Amino acid sequence: MYQLSPSILAADFAVLGEQLSQVEAAGADMVHIDVMDGQFVPRISYGMPVIESIRSVTKLPFDVHLMVAEPYRFIEDFRACGADLITVHAEACTHLHSTVTKIKRCGMKAGVALNPATPVEFLRHIIGEVDMVLVMTVNPGFGGQKFIPGMLKKPGRVMELAKEEGVFCPDIQVDGGITLENIGEILKAGANNIVAGTSVFSGDIKKNISGFKEAFKNAVK
Ligand code: DX5
Ligand code: ZN
């Protein structure tokens, strides 16, 4: 029921392939890949060639988080290099509905991310079309930031909105500042897909992932 999507932004790129194998062996459910364009967010991270080269290292689905202005332009390219799920930012798409439709037409799952200041209400007329809502729990652009506690209200709002619109509730992903200390309250708030970068890749990857899996088990009880 709960899924863990480790963010490779916090990985050691000199040994990225090895770390991906470790993450898979430790029981991660997917791989979160943060693509930043230096325009929608201040930093540039990595793009298609890196994704393409790690595609053969793991069988885990690739969860690609595009922090990119007008991502509509790149949907086919990310499909071609191995994305299984693409999340675009509501704030970065002039035509969000077309972008979501295109992702699905290309054979992938579609997610929509909301910056901390963007209300869940923004998704009212397309919530039935999206497979996942990504609730940003930090402002996008950097790993290792502090979780914004006010965001804990948003997963509940996503569920209410789906109910109001009479559609199935999409998966609810949370991303930014998630640790073994705050994971309990985050699961309680209703998120079911957890992105974690720093708290997976710093120190012992296997032990860190076991910690998250344990929290998932406790939340189900
Ligand atoms: C932030 C990225 C996150 C980031 C999370 O812009 O979207 O995925 O890598 O990193 P941590 O878990 O370190 O906050
Ligand atoms: Zn991310």
Q: List the chain residues with pLDDT less than 50.
A: none
Does 47 contact ligand 1 (Cβ within 6 A)? Answer: no
Query: How far does the centroid of ligand 2 lie from the alpha carbon of residue 167, in Å?
Result: 26
pTM exceeds 0.85, yes or no: yes
pLDDT value of residue 176: 98
Does 145 contact ligand 1 (Cβ within 6 A)? Answer: yes
Closest CA to 116 of 93, 133, 139, 134: 139
pLDDT value of residue 220: 82
| Burial class of 30 by CB neighbour count within 10 A (0 to 12, 13 to 18, 19+) | buried
* Count of structural domains within the chain: 1
pLDDT value of residue 89: 99
Domain membership of residue 88 as a residue range: 3-220
Pocket test for ligand 1, best of 23, 142, 180, 194 (most atoms within 8 A of CB): 142
CATH of residue 91? 3.20.20.70
pLDDT value of residue 204: 98
Does 32 contact ligand 1 (Cβ within 6 A)? Answer: yes
